[in-house]
Amino acid sequence: MPSREDPGLSGGLPSRGRGRRLTVLSGPSGVGKSTVVAELRRAHPEVWLSVSVTTREPRPGETHGVEYFFADDAEFDRLVAGGELLEWAEFAGNRYGTPRGPVISRLEAGVPTVLEIDLQGARQVRESMPEALLVFLAPPTWQELEKRLRGRGTEPEDVIARRLEAGRVEMAAEKEFDVTLVNTTVQDVCHRLIALMSA
Ligand code: 5GP
């Protein structure tokens, strides 16, 4: 394995700045992003995972400040108006956003940072932080995605339908990403993600 200093890897390249340590994990709803994030949190405490703000209701087992900061519409409006979100998007009837301050301070401290966000958010990050690595998590097959989304049993049919519709749009955008990881097993995806982040 070449070292970080290997001129073949870094020689002559301009410094890519703070975005270098920023990784965006995206992909259709139900593909398993949050399982991957939970495993990263468990197995790689050196990686910092941004906690998003959302207006959706907590699912059973979700804790404020762990999976999300749960906010009402007025609070979300205030964050948007105050420029406190690095990116935000509306997804299947709810709003989601990444608090800017904690991300910037981690990146400035050199901490590897992961954002688990939707396609619209990934596009915004690509604009504002072009050095970020954009990773697309894909299901092994479309049928598998549908099965996972329904099997979760946390959403009513109309919400599942909206998420599948958004999933089709997300799948069509795969080529906008720097790399695709197919979700085979959670450990395998984590392993490959960490390898990409340390390359
Ligand atoms: P869920 O409701 O299943 O937790 O998340 C729905 C979608 O919102 C997922 O695709 C997830 O990646 C995305 N999401 C979560 N947090 C953020 C965020 O801060 N910004 C954006 N743009 N999307 C997010």
What's the pLDDT tens digit per position in 93-134?
A: 999 999 999 999 999 999 999 999 999 999 999 999 999 999
**Residue 17: inside a domain, yes or no?**
no
Residue 34: pLDDT above 50? yes
For residue 184, the enclosing domain spans 23-198
Copy the structure tokens of residue 126.
């690509």
Element spanning 191, H or E: helix 186-198
Nearest ligand 1 atom to alpha carbon 53: 19
121 lines ligand 1 (CB under 6 A): yes
The CATH number of whichever domain residue 175 belongs to comes to: 3.40.50.300
For 127-171, write each residue's pLDDT tens digit. Answer: 999 999 999 999 999 999 999 888 878 888 998 999 999 999 999
**In whole angstroms, what is the distance from residue 155 CA to residue 135 CA?**
26
Residue 163 domain-assigned (yes or no):
yes
Cα–Cα distance measured from residue 188 to residue 86, given in angstroms and rounded to the nearest whole number: 29
pLDDT confidence band for 17 (50 / 70 / 90): very low
Name the pTM for this structure: 0.87
Contact predicate 87/72, CB 8 Å: no
Residues 6 or more apart whose CB falls under 8 angstroms from that of 64 comprise 58, 70
- Is 9 part of any domain? no
Answer yes or no: is pLDDT of 1 > 70: no
Task: Report whether residue 67 contacts ligand 1, using a CB cutoff of 6 Å.
Answer: no
179 occurs within a structural domain = yes
Q: Tell me what pLDDT residue 153 has.
A: 80
* Confidence category of residue 19, pLDDT binned at 50, 70, 90: very low
Tell me, using a 6 A CB cutoff, whether residue 39 lines ligand 1.
no
Number of domains in the chain: 1
* DSSP sequence for 8-69: HHHTTPPP-GGGGGEEEEE--TTSSHHHHHHHHHHH-TTSEEPPEEE-SPPPTT--BTTTEE
Whether 12 is in a domain gets the answer: no
Helices marked H in 56-118 — which ranges? 73-81, 100-108
Residue 48 lies in a domain: yes
Asked whether residue 92 is domain-assigned, the answer is: yes
In the numeric block, the tokens 């197995």 are attached to 43
User: Ligand 1 in contact with 167 (CB < 6 A)?
Assistant: no
Q: Could you report the per-residue pLDDT of 49-85, keeping only the tens digit for each?
A: 999 999 999 999 999 999 999 999 999 999 999 999 9
- The model's confidence at residue 20, banded by pLDDT at 50, 70 and 90, is low
**DSSP E strands, 140-194:** 179-182
- Name the residue of 62, 91, 123 whose CB sits within 8 Å of the most ligand 1 atoms, as the mutation to test its pocket: 91
